[in-house]
Amino acid sequence: MVADIDQLQDVALRLLLPVGVAVVASAAVVGGVLVVSPSAGVVRGAGLAVAAFLGPLVAARVVARYQRRQAALRARLTADLVDALDAADELWLNGADGRAAAAGAADDQALVQVALRDARGAGAADPIGVAAAALTTLAVLATTTRVAPGG
């Protein structure tokens, strides 16, 4: 419960401040490019918007799907561990402690696999952002070359 409150206290530092800085910096860049070349400024603004929203949107959708599965696996692992620890003496006396340990290990392995897929999905935002930045740069170059005299 305390961790939730700590996370709420970090929202301004971890979310609001970086987003605010990014918005101000993006506005300054787009404004500067608009002054020099209006068509390039529009392209730059569109590219920044795509990079800012598309990558995180894809990552959020992928991560949300896997987090639901992770929650179910965490609950099953926790229940199996609590049951095994509560009945440790009986499991040992009946020779079933190995089966209980194997069940816990299988649950843990399943959770690790889902967590790895979750991490890959969260990492999907990076290449999408890089691709958007690269395509935006090429589009700005094409726009400014076409507009420039003798280009």
What does the pLDDT look like over 94-108, one tens digit per residue?
Answer: 888 888 888 889 999
Q: What local confidence, expressed as pLDDT, does residue 55 receive?
A: 81
What does the pLDDT look like over 60-91, one tens digit per residue?
Answer: 888 788 888 888 889 988 998 898 888 888 88
Cα dihedral across residues 13, 18, 19, 20: positive or negative: positive
Percent of residues, the chain, with pLDDT higher than 70: 91
DSSP state letters, 125-144: HHHHHHHHHHHHHHHHHHHH
Single-letter residue type at 131: A
Give the pLDDT band (50/70/90) at residue 5.
low
